[in-house]
């Protein structure tokens, strides 16, 4: 048995190039591609976190287009994935949807080790995969947009997943969030 694992794509609070906390815009491709990964690996939910009503309405329109429009009939596989998308106004709303912050574990992702000094343990994927087996609180796994998750959000997590990187140092590991999500879910839940 595997613990419940939800993913959340965070558009606020995220960092800008200078490290300030900002809100990023919805990207259509992220809505689709993370939904497909979430559906493939058996995640319970895919939360798209955005504080602006009009941006969540955009996500709703994409969702409705695929669930009720002709595209969903034409490409049912995509419809099934898009059905997982849940736009929410805040990260707290995502936690509430799985029972509240105290009732879940929050794991964060970043290309660099950014929680060192914040008292958040970094766990490698072998350990994280083992932790997901058996009983335990639901896990909400956070992915960032823009320049990544804001420092305060990283510091509020229960654990940080080790950055994804090549076995041989390449000096580069800045993945798109779509690639990072697919790789992380495959390492955590893949066959």
Question: Which residues in this chain contact ligand SAM in the complex, by CB under 6 A?
Answer: 109-111, 143-145, 147-149, 163-164, 173-177, 180
Instruction: Compute φ and ψ for 105, nearest 5 degrees.
Output: -105, 140
Q: Minimum CB separation from ligand SAM for residue 144, in Å?
A: 3
Give the nearer residue to ligand SAM in terms of CB position, either 79 or 147.
147
Give the nearer residue to ligand SAM in terms of CB position, either 72 or 148.
148
| Nearest residue (beta carbon) to ligand SAM | 144
CB-hemisphere CA count at 13 Å for 159?
Answer: 17
Q: Minimum CB separation from ligand SAM for residue 76, in Å?
A: 27
Give the nearer residue to ligand SAM in terms of CB position, either 10 or 72.
10
* Whether residue 13 has a cis bond before it, omega within 30° of 0: yes
Q: Minimum CB separation from ligand SAM for residue 161, in Å?
A: 7
Q: Identify which of 156, 186, 181 has the alpha carbon closest to the alpha carbon of residue 29.
A: 181
- For the beta sheet containing 159-161, the strands, ordered from the edge strand earlier in sequence to the opposite edge, are 85-88, 46-49, 5-10, 139-143, 105-108, 159-161, 122-123
Q: Minimum CB separation from ligand SAM for residue 20, in Å?
A: 14
Give the nearer residue to ligand SAM in terms of CB position, either 37 or 109.
109
Give the nearer residue to ligand SAM in terms of CB position, either 97 or 154.
154
Q: Minimum CB separation from ligand SAM for residue 191, in Å?
A: 21
DSSP code for 13: S
Residue 87 CB partners (closer than 8 Å, separation 6+): 47, 48, 50, 56, 59, 60, 63
């Amino acid at each position: 048995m595997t613990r419940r694992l939800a993913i959340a794509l965070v558009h606020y609070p995220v960092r800008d190039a200078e490290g300030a906390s900002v809100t990023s815009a919805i990207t259509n491709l992220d809505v689709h591609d993370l939904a497909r990964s979430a559906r493939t690996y058996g995640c319970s939910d895919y939360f798209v976190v955005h504080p602006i009503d009009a941006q969540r309405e955009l996500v709703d329109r994409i969702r409705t287009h695929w669930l009720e429009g002709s595209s969903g009939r034409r490409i049912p596989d995509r419809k099934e994935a898009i059905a997982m998308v849940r736009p929410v106004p805040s990260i707290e709303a995502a936690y509430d949807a799985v029972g509240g912050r105290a009732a879940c574990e929050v794991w964060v992702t970043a290309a660099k080790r950014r929680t060192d000094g914040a008292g958040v343990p970094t766990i490698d994927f072998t350990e994280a995969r083992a932790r997901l087996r058996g009983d335990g609180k639901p896990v909400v796994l956070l992915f960032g947009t823009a320049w990544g998750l804001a420092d305060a959000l990283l510091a509020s997590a229960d654990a940080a997943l080790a950055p994804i990187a090549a076995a041989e140092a390449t000096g580069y590991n800045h993945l798109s969030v779509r690639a990072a999500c697919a790789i992380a879910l495959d390492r955590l839940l893949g066959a």
